[in-house]
Amino acid sequence: FCGLLLTTAKYNLKLKTSTWELRRVNFRKSRSQNISAHKRFTELLEKHEKEQIDARVPIGRIITLPELKSNPFKERICQVFSTSEQKDGSLTFEDFLDLLSAFSDSATLEIKSHYAFRIFDFDDDGTLDCADLEKLVNCLTGETNDAKLSSTEMKQLISNILEESDIDKDGTVNLSEFQHVISRSPDFVSSFKIVL
């Protein structure tokens, strides 16, 4: 029992210092927000994991959060923010804070657009090629039949997107081209947001 108490105390101490530092390095979030994030995160952990400091929550449990549950990009979001070696999309508390800070109010347009790009880049090759765009559009329109685009529509849409945004005409949308588009759509900053 004593040992358990000690470990929890240690964990709390470490957590406190780490959150303190995190805030200073990373974002202007107030402490109350950080603590609420921690509370939500520990709810996802299983009992025996609560004592571990760098416990990972697997992707299956992360996406049960109500804020992510019905989001079509939930798996991509987890994978982008995960630092796990196996690339299985599991998140530590730090990763979770990363996620929240990118989706928070105080994140700049640059950070937001960078992470949006990585979320939309399904095959992780650094550019949005036609396959990525197709997946993206399919995610947006959902799986229902009447909303889904037909193959000719999809082809036309993708060629239009490339025509509009691919400035150097290499057939893919790279990060700077993406940010160029995003900087002209003012609604992006307000819609790329997840509030806990």
- Given a contact cutoff of 8 angstroms between Cβ atoms, the answer to whether 196 and 100 are in contact is yes
How far is it, in rounded angstroms, from Cα 24 to Cα 18?
A: 10
- Token readout for 107 is 């994140």
**Among the listed residues 83, 110, 109, 105, the one whose alpha carbon sits nearest the alpha carbon of residue 94:** 83
Residue 128 has φ and ψ, to the nearest 5°, of -90, 105
Q: How far is the CB of 21 from other proteins (least distance, A)?
A: 7
Rule CB under 8 A: choose which of 21, 43, 49, 88 binds other proteins: 21
Interface with other proteins in residues 42-61 (CB under 8 A): none
Q: Does 193 bind other proteins (CB under 8 A)?
A: yes
Q: Does 181 bind other proteins (CB under 8 A)?
A: yes
Q: Does 185 bind other proteins (CB under 8 A)?
A: yes
Binding span for other proteins by CB under 8 A among 1-9, 39-47, 56-64, 65-73: 65-73
How far is it, in rounded angstroms, from Cα 91 to Cα 166?
A: 34
Rule CB under 8 A: choose which of 57, 76, 89, 192 binds other proteins: 192
Q: Does 147 bind other proteins (CB under 8 A)?
A: yes
Binding span for other proteins by CB under 8 A among 6-14, 40-48, 56-64, 151-159: 151-159
Task: Kindly write out the interface string for residues 121-140 of this chain, putting x where it contacts other proteins by CB under 8 A and - elsewhere.
Answer: x-xxxxx-xxx-xx-xx--x
Interface with other proteins in residues 71-90 (CB under 8 A): 71-73, 81, 83
- C-alpha distance across the termini of the chain, in Å: 34
Q: How far is the CB of 126 from other proteins (least distance, A)?
A: 4
Give 61-66's long-range contacts (Cβ < 8 A, gap of 24+). Answer: 62/89, 62/90, 62/91, 62/96, 65/40
